[in-house]
Structure 1
Amino acid sequence: MKVENSKSKLNQNNDPLPEKIEEAIKKIIKKEGYTNYKLKTKAISTGGGNYFGSLYEVDVVGVTKDGEKVTNIFVKGIIPADRLTAVSVTGMFNMELFFYNDLAVVLNDIQNEADVPIKERYNIAKSFQESIPEAIILVNLAKKKYKTLSRFDVLPINFAELCVKQLGKLHALSFALENKRPDYFDQNIKTIPCPYNFNEDFKGLLKNSSKALSACLDGDAQKRFNAFLPKLWVKSQEYYLDQKYKRTLIHNDYRANNILLKEIDGEIVDIIPVDYQLMHYGCPLLDFFFLIFLGTDQQFRKDHLEDLKDIYFDSLTKMLQYFDIDVKSVFPRDDFENLYNETLGYGLQCFIQLMPFIFATENELPDLDKDYQGEVSIKTDPRMNERARGIVDDFIRWGVL
């Protein structure tokens, strides 16, 4: 561990940080005004929740001219994947760096100008401007009792409600940004392309995931699923690239593992979305489907899906009102419903694309950089079987399969 000065003391059990991250931590320590400090660093297992980032906790405990001080830092460092061509890992980190160092500042500014009450704002994790292309550096919210759900779990309904409320606010801020900062929006948001390269690597991902999901099915469901697969390649590109669909700034990885939650007495009271690496200018319904079809089972959708659509649209509408924007002028409810029906198949597509990775057993996670271009053997948790059967059954009932 190299982050030190003449008056620092380091725990000998510290986990080492990459050199560029050490340099960024040094800058944070200097800016925070420490004159004497102890530093503790700890590597964190991603538990299969992040394939492209190495995670660290960094705790600075010491003294400034104003007295004792503690700074708790969370670091996500890049894991290079040079052989991966379906998406650029470097590009992903640059996108998240843009979000925290630039866009987050602008979004907070327009919410301040509109006097959006603190409790009604879109929640953004506090970041350090010392973030670099190799590492995103945030305040460690785990120290404030925030955590993530298991990627295997069905979303609790109160968590799902909070998630779709935040999602409505994010998409509303995209419309507000377009209205209040048109030049910025045209130059910095509308120009963000889909992060995926629809090449042989991407085809390989869909092929391997489809194989794993088909094995969960039998009978007519399996036949219908397999018959749909030849269409999947074209549909995947359509949902991401077709300009006919309504477009906003979208998160594009809006699933439970990327949403921090805080509980008080067993009740979820707050959530904060994170991980903006795949953010781009795309169809807003993709975010909604991502959350629903990667985090719920058939019974949940039967009980709550229609209500969650209402909650999302109400949140979108209310946030727009702070900016004196009538939702009917940018995204009327009829347009929302029509777009929902037109793009519903994306729920199946994102399920095929990612569910086997979400349910990959932790001790046998696939190495995407090493294996991505070949046949990837994805060993999944048995709980995926029921989830897959429920998804396919729903899409048969909805007329997609």
Structure 2
Amino acid sequence: MAPESLRKLVEDIAKENEYENPNITINPISTGGANYSSELFTITVSKSGKEDLHLFAKVIIINETIRSQMPAAIFDVERLIYVELLKKYEDIEIAHDVPLTRRLVVPKYYGCNPKIFEESIVLEDLSKKGYTTYDRFKPINWEYAAGAVESLAKFHALSIAYSEENPEEFKAFVEKTDFQKEMFVGMLHQMYEQRIQTTLSVTAEKHKDKLQKYLETHVNIEAIMNISQSSQRRVLCHGDYRPSNLMHKYNEDGTIHVIPVDFQTIQCDSPLYDLIYFIFTGSDEKFRREHFQDLTDHYYQELSNALRSLKLNPDVIYPKTAFELELKEYLPYGLLIAIIGLPIITVDVDNAPSMQGDGGFEVFSMAKTSSLYPERMNGVINDYFRWGIIE
């Protein structure tokens, strides 16, 4: 059942859009274990003589314990993204006459409720335009991955244009979201040691000792953070760019168009943060063996195209040599993300953690892993041995 606060918010949105005394239908939807911080709803606002208004809402469900560990300002950040940042990006595209087919597409924002324990955000319902989420139990394919990094490249290019054209304004915006980085580093610290044990419990015996030694000496959260600080080109990253936070649909020519959603975790980092995160949360060993190099090359080509459409020279702004160097430096981050994220990304629906109970972040560490997890995790480990990163 939808909370009364959401219905009141929708009534206000209906009035703002000139739907007087409408019929409002609110239905809960399930993400099949892909969403932990919110309850989701589809909404239809109907009025005789007007086209139906189709909306999508998220209502926060974070309990008091987790709120004490993680500021519940994530919806404030998301509102800021829609109201300020994405509007700024649209202005930049218009100023540079970027063709409509080359522009970043995001959901239309309708409104929010920032009141504590009622935090809600309402957007357009993209499913009514034929968009859907990818099955998180299936590894991404090339068509989907190519479409996803094309949208990611546009998102990053706009951040670069913003920082080049209005450096002080960009810096001020970054400072508004700086707490995000500290918050997520703290979360990672809480889970990392437990996740290492989970990883080693499913690691093939031939790799276990060498992997454990590598993790003890090379992979830690501080080292990853230091890499991000030294990046030649830092951008506003999505922060959680994985298939569950993307909507896609097939075009008539067989290509896929991807729209990013869930801008709660935006933070300033290297473009490789989002790219590596996407690859290691969405792909399997077979995909990376066949397409890893192709996909990273495709991302850089699309980033270059997007920068040129914004009248920026990629060879000056972010040369291919700098990108390739950072790609090598960031590869350990892929292993870190797999260790921390794959147990939850692949979790069975019945065992998905909840932020509604009494527990804190330990609910994520305690969640039972699925039968798919060992395969996906060992695939990542195999990559790092095959690439010669672990010897």
1:335 paired with 2:317, answer no
**2:35 corresponding residue in structure 1:** 50
CA distance in 2, matches of 1:276, 1:375: 21
Per-residue deviation at 1:169? 1.2
CA distance in 2, matches of 1:216, 1:266: 42
1:346 and 1:225, CA in 2 relative to 1: closer, same or farther beyond 3 A?
same
Task: Among all aligned residue pairs of Structure 1 and Structure 2, give the percentage whose two residues are the same amino acid.
Answer: 27
Q: Specify the alignment match of 2:139 in structure 1.
A: 154
1:26 equivalent in structure 2: 11
**C-alpha displacement at 1:340, in angstroms?**
0.5
Q: Is the 8 A contact 2:141 2:287 kept in 1?
A: no
Match of 1:377 in 2: 366
**Could you report, residue by residue, the CA deviation over 1:265-284 in whole angstroms, capped at 9, with x for unpaired residues?**
79453110111111111121
Equivalent residue number for residue 240 of structure 2: 253
RMSD: 2.3
Q: CA deviation at 1:87?
A: 6.0
Match of 1:274 in 2: 261
- Which 10-residue stretch deviates more, 179-188 or 40-49? 179-188
Q: Show the counterpart of 2:152.
A: 167
Is the CA contact (8 Å cut-off) linking 1:85 and 1:197 kept in structure 2?
no
Q: Select 1:127's aligned residue among 109, 113, 127.
A: 109
Q: Deviations over 1:37-88 (max 9, x none)?
A: 211111111211111111111111113xxx3221011001111233237962
Q: 1:202-233: CA deviations, max 9, x gaps?
A: 4331233222222221213122222233347x
1:103 corresponding residue in structure 2: 85
The residue aligned with 1:183 is 168
| CA separation of 1:392 and 1:18: change in aligned 2, threshold 3 A | farther
Structure 1 or 2: more helix by fraction: 2
Which ranges of structure 2 fall in alignment gaps of 5 or more residues?
A: none
Equivalent residue, structure 2, for 1:388: 377
Deviation at 1:371?
Answer: 4.6
Equivalent residue in structure 2 for 1:61, among 46, 51, 61: 46
> For the structure 1 residues 39 and 354, does the alpha-carbon distance in structure 2 shift closer, same or farther, using more than 3 Å as the test?
same
Q: Separation in 2 of the partners of 1:115 and 1:391?
A: 42
TM-score, normalised to structure 2's length?
A: 0.91
- Distance in 2, matches of 1:366 and 1:77, equals 17
Higher RCO structure, 1 or 2 (CA under 8 Å, sep 6+): 2
Task: Kindly indicate whether the alpha-carbon contact (under 8 Å) linking 2:353 and 2:363 is maintained by their aligned counterparts in 1.
Answer: no
- Write the mapping of 1:182-221 to structure 2, written as runs, cut at 5 A: 182-189=167-174, 192-193=177-178, 194-197=180-183, 202-221=188-207
The alpha-carbon distance between structure 1 residues 61 and 345, as it changes in their structure 2 partners (threshold 3 A), is same
Contact 1:84/1:201 (CA < 8 Å) preserved in 2?
A: no
Cα shift readout 1:145-196 (whole Å, capped 9, x = no counterpart): 2110111111021010011111111111111011222232121135532434
Cα distance in 2 for partners of 1:374, 1:75 equals 25
Alignment-derived partner of residue 140 in structure 1: 125
* Alpha-carbon offset, residue 253 of structure 1: 0.5
Count how many residue pairs are aligned between Structure 1 and Structure 2. 382
1:290 pairs, out of 277, 287, 306, with 277
Structure 1 residues 375 and 126, CA gap change in structure 2 (3 angstroms): closer
1:202 and 1:85 map into 2 onto residues whose CA distance is: 16
> Residue type matched to 1:33 in 2?
E
Structure 1 residue aligned with 2:345, among 358, 369, 380? 358
